[in-house]
Structure 1
């Protein structure tokens, strides 16, 4: 799954206003038995989205148009707590979610979001609730303006947010960690040349390919 630039995105926002939604609820363990990052969307909120016979649960919001095409989630505090389960974020991305908006997130989940192009946006809980109150099937759309760092509600209310500068830059440009590093390859090579002149012993390789101190 390639990361996409996130400059300004508009789309339906689904509200799942439960506190402490953990990674096992986002993606139960059995949904992660894959060998690549794609195909996880069907397992997102598996135990809530599907009935025992495997059919869609009509009472769950992601099965209700227009939220079947949700680009954003609004959630209760401490979203993504629990175990380190990167495929929870892969499932969000595969479903089409570009950002989760909540009052707080699990720390490891936050890191996994940034690594995989999903924006974990923190707003005050009252602000999350205010946006949620405006969402309806007839008026489901919000805008997340990453360039301006604003969430815009259906009525046009603006809610500013802040992300770490480096992570925001990667989201804006759609760069994963490898792409971000490769873009700085000239700087890395320049450093290696300069550092090699200062500390040549660090770069001296023996015939056995061991670095000689």
Structure 2
């Protein structure tokens, strides 16, 4: 998993509440066995029509958001099923950070395990940044270590973040990495139990 300490990126504003995982990645695209390649199907039913042509009325198809790596969205993002393909699709598309007033629990944990930084933020602040990003390209600078966000006007907004998740993201550690850090203790235990010679 790639470590994330500081991230500067353009915003994509998705001003919708209760975006569920079937909207993030529709079920017909879950047959792949790899964890990559799902980005092309992100928000598929919103981005494309029945013939596979890009819809002009969905904002992510606007060229000004083509380099966006920060997703701003509404309440309860990632609700619905527990599919891990949703964070895979978001990450594969290029989103590194998602900022919302609230997240669905399973989606929240799945995303953190895959290295996406999820930040819960006051809705009024999100709306303010969304409005700016809707007018023109707008970027934020995020410092996970200091737990703060700097906007283009040099305003700094602090955010809360669980310490146990912070350490994992700062170091790029997934659950396998954490287990391997205990390799000596695991080997000693196995030797004491006669599992290994």
Establish whether TM, by shorter chain, passes 0.5: yes
SS of aligned partner of 2:109: helix
Shift of 1:154: 2.5
Residue aligning to 1:175: 173
* 1:117 and 2:134 are equivalent in the alignment: no
Name whichever of 123-132 and 30-39 sits farther off: 123-132
If asked which structure has higher relative contact order (CA below 8 Å, sep 6+), I would say: 2
Name whichever of 5-14 and 65-74 sits farther off: 65-74
CA distance in 1, matches of 2:106, 2:28: 20
Residue aligning to 1:77: 75
What is the correspondence of 1:123-138 to structure 2 with a 5 Å cutoff? 123-136=121-134, 138=136
Residue aligning to 2:154: 156
CA distance in 2, matches of 1:133, 1:58: 20
* 1:17 and 2:5 are equivalent in the alignment: no
Name whichever of 138-147 and 179-188 sits farther off: 179-188
Kept in 1, the 8 Å contact 2:60–2:66? The answer is yes
TM-score, L = length of structure 1 = 0.85
Kept in 2, the 8 Å contact 1:134–1:153? The answer is no
In the alignment, which of 85, 88, 93 is matched to residue 87 of structure 1?
A: 85
Kept in 2, the 8 Å contact 1:26–1:88? The answer is yes
SS of aligned partner of 2:9: strand
Residue aligning to 1:46: 44
Could you tell me which runs of 5 or more consecutive residues in structure 1 were left unpaired when the two chains were aligned. Answer: 197-202, 206-213
Could you tell me which runs of 5 or more consecutive residues in structure 2 were left unpaired when the two chains were aligned. Answer: none
Q: RMSD across aligned C-alpha pairs, in angstroms?
A: 1.9
Structure (1 or 2) with the larger CA radius of gyration: 1
CA distance in 1, matches of 2:184, 2:43: 43
Runs of 4+ in 1 over 3 A off after TM superposition: 136-139, 186-190
TM-score, L = length of structure 2 = 0.91
Residue aligning to 2:24: 26
Encode CA deviations 1:49-81: one digit per residue, 9 max, x unaligned. Answer: 112221112232221123122111000000001
Shift of 1:164: 1.3
